[in-house]
Amino acid sequence: MYFFYNLIKPDLLRLLNERGKILALDLGAGRTNFPSWLETVGVRDKVFVTAQDVTDANLEHLNRHCDRSFVGDVREMQSEFDFIVSTFAYEHLVFPQKTLTHCLDMLTPGGILYIVSPCYTLLGYLPPALRHLPRWKQFGLNLFLVASSALVRVLGRPLFWIVTDPAVFHLPFRRDYDAIHMVSKSDLDSFMRGHCQSLPIMLPKATGQGRVWLRFMMLIVAYCKR
């Protein structure tokens, strides 16, 4: 996971240089290693980390490594943050637009929202939450998601598709069978337009499968609130 935090390191250090100390929210923290990464960078004492999760299954871990823990819907939080990070939680959101709206409300002007998750709009890639369906239907829905993403870029209006009957209800559990949000970068860029400035993320050079994975199967984005 340090790999993904390293991608936002230049912008985070710039923010710390401007503000001295910051308040950070780890959204959908799970067994986060964000605080330990801050230790390796040498800035742990400058970042007050609040961890949010929807279950108390990892509460002991969060209480041990973070400065504050919150269990419940993030929309119930009433706080201000300079930096919000979400790694592999965005794809599990039931109400992505409402969650993003609330996160922006909590984010201070000039603050950064950083999101890492799978992206489900690559032609031929079948989202795990759909893998209980017949193959023809999976490929049909894949084409639908690709076309929807293109339409959002044209119309400028996000769609935020959600699977209401995911594979987790039908098959033995595997990773992301419960990832019901059909993540599209077009949706996120369209939603953020007018609220935030997109920050460039410098991805490492890669070839072959690594390049496809990083460039097309992953959503790695950062936005600075205006």
110-123 pLDDT, tens digit each = 999 999 999 999 99
Q: How confident is the model at residue 216 (pLDDT cuts 50, 70, 90)?
A: confident
> pTM of the entire structure?
0.96
pLDDT tens digit string along 135-164? Answer: 999 999 999 999 999 999 999 999 999 999
Q: What is the DSSP string of 107-159?
A: EEEEEEEEEEEE---STT---GGGTTS-HHHHHHHHHHHHHHHHHHHHH----
pLDDT of residue 209: 76
Instruction: Tell me the residue range of the domain where 95 lies.
Output: 2-225
pLDDT tier at 83, thresholds 50, 70, 90? very high
CATH number of domain containing 24: 3.40.50.150
Q: What is the pLDDT of residues 166-193, one digit of tens each?
A: 999 999 999 999 999 999 999 999 999 9
Number of domains present in the structure of the chain: 1
Q: What share of the chain is helix, strand, coil (3-state, %, to 5)?
A: 45, 20, 35
